[in-house]
Amino acid sequence: MKVGLFIPCYVDAIYPEAGIATLELLERLGLEVVYPLNQTCCGQPMANEGDQQHSAAAEQLFVDNFREFEYIIGPAGSCVKHVRHHLDAIPQDPDVLHVRQRTYELVEFLHDILQVESFPWAYFRYKVGLHNSCSSIRGLNIALPSEIMGTPFNKTARLLQMVEGLELVPMDRPDECCGFGGTFCVTDEAVSASMGLDKVHDYVRNDAEFIVSPDMSCLMHQQGIARKAGIRMKFLHVAQVLNGGPF
């Protein structure tokens, strides 16, 4: 199976190791992975501001880059959520619809499409606090949102539990938003930072050693806050843990 690898702009520049881990992991699982070199951004930052005009070009470029693939996989819930649910600044032709339907966040792809049952190469002997991003939970159904009544499920947790040695710690507010929210983190800096600090304290209270997430954007924000507050906490993308590195 040939899949297109979508590496969001901030992963490309700041967390390349998350991208590397994703690519290596998908190749280990037997996929042919192609990273289209002309990709930039899915258009989410502008679209989240409501700026359809300026997100249109980025969206069109995204579709052009990925329309040939059977699946498009990105290690970033919020970007994938944008593509799946909100990539609507351009006319909805068959290519656009194909790309929107076939773009998967890494965890849901591993869990729902590949239905991976083990990661024999991975070993991680730490206490892990899991941060499923809001986009992944409420936009991509990666876990049952705590607001919804029903049988709980958590795809990320299920995958992480396949990793030898890994211990998931409970959280006081497991799916409380960390306050990143894209541009929100700078336009509403005080509230965003307060939410982030509360989130980091939740991990600390529950003795987590590593924070693992399918969304590095949330972790970028939380990491910045932890560092500023002098809290020693390590942050990893879920792909790094499932792939056994690079760390």
Partner 1 sequence: MGDEKKVDVAANAAAFLEQDEVHEPMHDKNLWAARMHRDAAARAVPEWEELRKIASQIKEHTLTHLPDYLREFENNALKRGAKVYWARDAAEHNQHVWDILQEKNIRAVIKSKSMLQEECGMTAFLEKRGITVTESDLGERIQQLDDQPPSHIVMPAIHKTPEDVAQLFARSIGTDPGNTDPHYLTEAMRNDARKRFLEAGAGMTGANFAIAETGSFVVCTNEGNADIGAAVPPVHIASIGIEKLLPKVSDLGIFIRMLSRSALGTLATQYTSHFSGPRRGGELHIILTDNGRSRRLGMPDFWTSLKCIRCGACMNTCPVYRRSGGLAYGATYSGPIGIILDPTFDESRYSELPYHSSLCGSCTEVCPVKIDISDQILKWRKVMAAKKYLPVSRRLAFGAAGRIFEHPQLFRSAESMASGALRFTPHFLLYNKVLNPWGRHRELPHFAGQTFREWYLQYRAKNNDHGEQHT
Instruction: Compute how many residues bind partner 1; rule: CB under 8 A.
Output: 80
Q: Is 206 in the site for partner 1 (CB under 8 A)?
A: no
Of positions 114, 116, 158, 224, contacts partner 1 by CB under 8 A: 224
DSSP 135-171: IIIIIT-SB--TTS-S---BHHHHHHTTSBT-EEPP-
Contact 245, 239 (CB under 8 A): no
Q: Is 37 in the site for partner 1 (CB under 8 A)?
A: yes
Of positions 29, 57, 169, 204, contacts partner 1 by CB under 8 A: 57
Which residues within the stretch 119-178 sit at the binding site for partner 1 (CB under 8 A)?
134, 137-139, 145-150, 173, 175-177
- CA dist 207 and 128 (Å) reads 9
Q: State in angstroms the smallest separation of the CB of 92 from partner 1.
A: 16
Per CB under 8 A, which region of 9-17, 66-74, 159-167, 205-213 contacts partner 1? 9-17
Of positions 76, 122, 197, 242, contacts partner 1 by CB under 8 A: 197
Of positions 46, 63, 72, 96, contacts partner 1 by CB under 8 A: 46
Query: Binding marks (x or -) toward partner 1, 72..91, rule CB under 8 A?
Result: --------------x-----
Beta carbon nearer to partner 1, 95 or 167: 95
Per CB under 8 A, which region of 4-12, 107-115, 123-131, 161-169 contacts partner 1? 4-12
- CA dist 239 and 180 (Å) reads 20
- Buried b / exposed e along 88-107 (16+ C-beta atoms within 10 A): ebbeeeeebebbbebbbbbb
Q: Is 64 helix (H, G, I), strand (E, B) or coil?
A: helix
Alpha-carbon Rg for the chain, nearest whole angstrom, is 17
End-to-end CA distance of the chain: give it in Å, rounded.
27
